[in-house]
């Protein structure tokens, strides 16, 4: 059954600060390099553990919300044909990731995140209305605080939802907060108090001045999902801050000493 939700009004003014220095970094998209071939499912706790052990700068994960308002870590909107948004958490109790893990709740994932060693690149997935998106942001912040992770050095936020990014901007000043969709310029994004962009590399190919325009405004720039060597080199040449990739060791080799510590 869907629960009614309430959310608090948010402050209208925020102070923009950027926590990412303009250096290149690595994010292991969906957890770990070649994760499926290596037997590690995307968005799994094991993948986060491996990213931590291998000192990847960051590890991206995706957060959805079930109909009974449980935050879970999963990439796709559906699981085995069931929409996460319209099913209770208990409906997924028998589901297993490819590595045998059950569907992680956000709290279970953050328990591993507490061990540190990699920045949590926290993607808040679009919900079907503003109220649920706002509730998800608020519950995510509560969870991060509960785990001692509400810290701009430990977490950056990304989302395709403008509403989610705007709420994060209001409630999490000082955190890196990147909009994912690629249909708005750095200037337009900053006008909404959002201090970063995280776009597919084809967006930067079409808009070659956007990385510099973002940096001139002290905005952080992430690029996804870059796996081919020539694309990685191109993005390194454009001086982006973060490269989201399924091939972090390849990126690390190409970056050499330029990799963010």
Write out the residues near Mg ion by the rule CB under 5 A: 62, 123
Question: Of 62 and 133, which CB lies nearer to Mg ion in the complex structure?
Answer: 62
Comparison of 14 and 25: residue with beta carbon closer to Mg ion: 25
Rounded Cα–Cα distance for residues 157 and 196 (Å): 9
* CB-nearer residue toward Mg ion: 10 or 203: 203
| Identity of the residue, 66 or 178, whose beta carbon is nearer to Mg ion in the bound complex | 178
Shortest CB 60 distance to Mg ion, Å: 5
Q: Is 31 within 8 Å of 98 (Cβ atoms)?
A: no
d(CA 259, CA 109): 26
190 neighbors 221 (Cβ within 8 angstroms): no
Q: Tell me whether residue 42 or residue 166 sits nearer to Mg ion (CB atom).
A: 42
Q: Residue 25, Cβ neighbours under 10 Å: how many?
A: 26
**Between 77 and 102, CB nearer to Mg ion:** 77
What Å distances lie between residue 73 and 31, 64, 96, 183, CA to CA? 11, 6, 13, 26
**Contact indicator for 27, 242 with CB cutoff of 8 Å:** yes
Closest separation in Å from C-beta 244 to Mg ion: 8
Tell me the C-alpha distance between 58 and 80, whole Å.
Answer: 28
Kindly tell me which of 193 and 246 has the beta carbon lying closer to Mg ion.
246
Query: Which residues lie closer than 8 Å to 25 by C-beta, 6 or more apart?
Result: 57, 58, 241, 242, 243, 259, 260
The CB-of-163 to Mg ion minimum distance in angstroms stands at 17
| Torsion over CA: 101, 60, 139, 78 (sign) | negative
What is d(CA 136, CA 149) in angstroms, rounded to the nearest whole number? 17
Please state, in angstroms and as integers, the Cα–Cα distance from residue 125 to each residue in 76, 120, 130, 135, 240, following that order: 9, 15, 12, 12, 23
């Amino acid at each position: 059954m869907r629960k009614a939700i309430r959310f608090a009004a948010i402050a209208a003014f925020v102070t923009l600060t950027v926590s990412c220095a303009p250096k290149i970094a690595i994010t292991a998209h969906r957890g770990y390099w070649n994760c499926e071939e290596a037997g590690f499912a995307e968005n799994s706790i094991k993948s986060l553990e491996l990213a931590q052990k291998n000192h990847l700068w960051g590890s991206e994960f995706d957060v959805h919300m079930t109909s009974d308002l449980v935050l879970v870590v999963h990439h796709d909107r559906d699981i085995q044909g069931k929409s996460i948004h319209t099913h209770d958490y208990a409906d997924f109790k028998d589901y297993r990731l490819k590595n045998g893990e059950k569907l992680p709740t956000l709290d279970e994932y953050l328990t591993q995140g507490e061990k540190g060693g990699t920045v949590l690149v926290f993607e808040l997935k679009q919900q079907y209305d503003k109220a649920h998106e706002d509730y998800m942001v608020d519950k995510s912040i509560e969870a991060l605080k509960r785990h001692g992770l509400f810290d701009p050095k430990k977490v950056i936020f990304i989302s395709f939802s403008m509403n989610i990014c705007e709420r994060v901007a209001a409630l999490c000043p000082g955190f890196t907060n990147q909009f994912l969709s690629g249909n708005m310029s750095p200037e337009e994004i900053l006008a909404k108090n959002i201090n970063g962009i995280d776009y597919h590399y084809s967006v930067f190919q079409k808009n070659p001045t956007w990385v510099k325009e973002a940096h001139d405004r002290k905005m952080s720039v992430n690029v996804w999902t870059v796996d081919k060597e020539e694309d990685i080199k191109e993005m390194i040449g454009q001086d982006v801050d973060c490269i989201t990739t399924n091939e972090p060791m390849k990126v690390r080799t190409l970056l050499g000493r330029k990799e963010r510590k």
